[in-house]
Structure 1
C-alpha cells in the first residue's frame, strides 16, 4: 500500500490513465526540444540492449556507506561548508522571471535571496533585506514588482538593479549616501534558460568551470528557454538531503515502489549512466522501446518519444525531460535531518490547446503525488529514523545503483577538497 502525504490525492489508477494519455497523444503533445539526434539514437541503442539484458549499466562492485553519513551533525556541517556555501544552485528557469520586475524568493539556502530581471532584461539577485533595518522586501515565493522594491516596514525603496532610490524621513538619517546603501548583490548567471545563483554574497559563479563543456553543449538541446507555464510546490521532509538525492538516482525501485503505476509503462532497473564533469546524466525508457524502434530503420527512429533524460546538476538539481514536460527538483538541506524540495513542472506543450492544458495539470498532480506517496516515504522519511536510531549500521548500494555510488564519491571529494572554514 502506498503511503500518502498531505495534499496528494491522485490514485495509482489515475496515474496510469495519465501515462496512457501521454503515450497515446505523443504526436499531438510533444514539445519544443532541439535534441541532438545522434545522442538520442545512441541512448536508445544502449537502452534497448540493457532492456534485453534486464539490468542498467553497472558499477564494478557493491558499495557500503555508514549510517553516520546521514546522521552526524559534523558531517552535515562539513557538507554545507564545502558544497552548499560555495557552489551555485539553479534558482529557476528564465520563464520564472520572464519580464522586468518579475521575481523569485528563495529562503532555504542559508541566505534569504530574491532573483529578479532588470529593465534591460538582465538577471539580478540580491539579499532579500532592506539596508535600513533588515526587513524582507518580498514575501511571496514569486511575483511582480513593477519598477522596483519598497520596504513594507519604513518604505525605503530600490530599483531593479538594487540601487537605493528613496529614504522616508530622509533628513533624519543625515542625507545618507544612497550609493553605499543599495541592496547587497548575490552573483547570478543566466544561460540556456537556466538561472544559476550563488548561495550568498561574495561567492562568484564561473559557469564554464562549474557546468563544464560537455553539459554546456547538451543543455541547449532541451529548450529550457522555451517552456511555458509552470506549477511549483514545496515539499518538506524529515530526512537527510542525501537520502532525497538518492531517490532520483536509480530505476531499480520502479518495479516495486511504482509497480501499480509507472512500472506499467517504464522499464524498471534499466538505465544508462554518463558523467558530464561532476554532473550526471541518466536515461530511462518506455517498455515499448525494445519492440517499436528495432522494427524500423534507424533513420526512422523517434527516440525522444521513448526516452526520458535526467540531468543531476551537482549536488542537488534534478531536471527530468519528457516530450511534454520538464520536471524540476531542487534539494535544499535545512539541517542534518530536515530537507526542503522545490518541485516544479514546466510545460513543453501548446497550452492554448485546452486538451494540452488539462493534460499538463494532470501530469503535474501525478508527479507531485507519486514522489510524496512512494519515493519519499520509502527512500527518505522511513530510512532516516532507522539510521538515526543506530539500529541500522548503514546502507548498501548495489552494482545496479551506480549513480548512487558516483554521487557519494563526488560529495566525499567536494568535502575533502574544500578549504577549512574561516575562524572568527
Structure 2
C-alpha cells in the first residue's frame, strides 16, 4: 500500500523511492544489495591503448556537461573550453540562446577567442587578420573584402556544435556531426536535475586543475559509500552513517544516495517532510564524466576530462540557490566551498586517487578488489562495458582464473 502511494504521489520525483530504500536499509539493518566480491585488472586504469579505446568508444560522440547555464547569464558572456581535445567556444547570444562553436577562425584556422574564465564582449575578432564574428557565429567583417573576389561570407560562419541549455546545464557534443537527444539520453534522471532546481540557481565559483589519476578512479571515488566515514573522518565523515548507501542505474547514469546521520530523524516522518539535502546526500553520476553532489546548501558539479591513462582535468563548478545578499552570506559560501574543494575533494578524494594511480603503476597488484559496499563502483564498471565492451577481460570472481589478454590487440581490433 505504501509503495502504491509513493508511486502515485511522487511519480515525477524518483528520489523518493531511493530515499525509502535507504530507510529500509537502516530499519532492516540490511545492505541495499547482496554482498559479492570481485577483482579487476589494474590495466583497466593504466594501459595507454585501452585509454585510446575509451576515447573512441565513450567520448568521441556524446553529450557532455560543460558547466551550469548560470555561468552565462547575460548576452555576450562566453568561455572557451579545451579539455575535450577540441577547441570549444560557448556563447550567450543577444537572443539569449546558448550556442557552442569550434573556436577556430574560418580564414586560416587560428584560435579565435581566449577566455578560460567567463568573459563578455559583443563580437569575436581573430587576432591574425581581424576577421570578425557575431555572437551567433556569423562572419560579419572581412578586412579588405574586395581582395577576395567571388567570396561568400555566409559560407564561412563559425562551425557550430550541437548545444542545448537544459535542466540548468550547458550540454555540448564536441562532435560537429553528432547529436544530443537529451530526453532519450537522460531518461528520468532529468527529473532529478529539475527537482533539485539547478535551472534557478546562481553560479558561484569554478576551479580547474589537472590531477595525476585515471578518470575512472575519480568517478569511482564518488560512487563509493564505503570510504566516507574513514577517508573523511577528520572533515565531513562525522555527518554520515557508516556504509548506508544505495544506488540505481538510469540509462547510463547512476542515482546514488548516502545516509546522513539525520536520516534517523526521517524514519518516522511523513514523506512530505523528507529532506533530500539534509537527511541524505545524493551524488549522481551523469554519463560519461560528470558527478553532481547535492550538498545541504549548494551543488557541486565535477566534470572529468581524461587527458591520458594517468591524467585527468577536473573542473569543479558550484551553484547556490541565489546570489549572496550580504558579505556575511558571501563569506559563508566561500568557507563552504573551500572546505569541500580543498579540505575534502583535493586533500582527500583526489589525493587518494593519485596515490592509487601510483600504486597501480608500481606493479604491486595485478588486480584490485571490489567488495559488497562498493555497489556504485560496480554499477559504473558495468555501464562502461556497454560502451567499450570486453569488460570480462578485466573483471573476475575470486578463485576464478584471470584471463590475461593483450589489451593492445583488444583495442586495435575494435
TM score, norm. by length of structure 2: 0.86
Aligned equivalents of 1:412, 1:43: Cα separation in 2: 24
> Counterpart in 1 of 2:38?
63
Tell whether 2:346 aligns with 1:375.
no
3-state secondary structure, aligned to 1:229: strand
> Counterpart in 1 of 2:387?
414
> Counterpart in 1 of 2:287?
314
3-state secondary structure, aligned to 1:269: strand
Counterpart pick for 1:155 among 107, 130, 135: 130
Q: Is the 8 A contact 2:13 2:192 kept in 1?
A: no
Displacement of 1:145 in angstroms is 3.6
> Counterpart in 2 of 1:331?
304
Displacement of 1:49 in angstroms is 3.4
Q: Is the 8 A contact 2:246 2:258 kept in 1?
A: yes
Tell whether 2:316 aligns with 1:343.
yes
> Counterpart in 2 of 1:254?
228
Query: Unaligned regions of 5+ residues in structure 2, if any?
Result: 1-9, 391-409
3-state secondary structure, aligned to 2:288: coil
Aligned equivalents of 2:78, 2:389: Cα separation in 1: 36
Which protein, 1 or 2, shows the higher relative CO under an 8 Å CA cutoff with sep ≥ 6?
1
Counterpart pick for 2:211 among 237, 244, 267: 237
Counterpart pick for 1:107 among 82, 107, 114: 82
Tell whether 2:336 aligns with 1:363.
yes
Count of equivalent residues? 384
Q: Is the 8 A contact 2:35 2:373 kept in 1?
A: no
The aligned runs of 1:20-99 (5 Å cut-off) are: 39-51=14-26, 56-58=31-33, 61-99=36-74
Q: Is the 8 A contact 1:131 1:181 kept in 2?
A: yes
3-state secondary structure, aligned to 1:110: coil
3-state secondary structure, aligned to 1:234: strand
Instruction: Classify 1:315/1:260 alpha carbon distance in 2 versus 1 (closer, same or farther; 3 Å).
Output: same
Query: Unaligned regions of 5+ residues in structure 1, if any?
Result: 1-34
Aligned equivalents of 2:30, 2:322: Cα separation in 1: 32
Counterpart pick for 1:389 among 362, 369, 387: 362
Instruction: Classify 1:191/1:37 alpha carbon distance in 2 versus 1 (closer, same or farther; 3 Å).
Output: closer
3-state secondary structure, aligned to 2:281: strand
3-state secondary structure, aligned to 1:243: helix
> Counterpart in 2 of 1:217?
191
Segment of structure 1 superposing worse, 56-65 or 263-272 = 56-65
Counterpart pick for 1:202 among 171, 177, 180: 177
> Counterpart in 1 of 2:393?
none
Counterpart pick for 1:277 among 231, 243, 251: 251
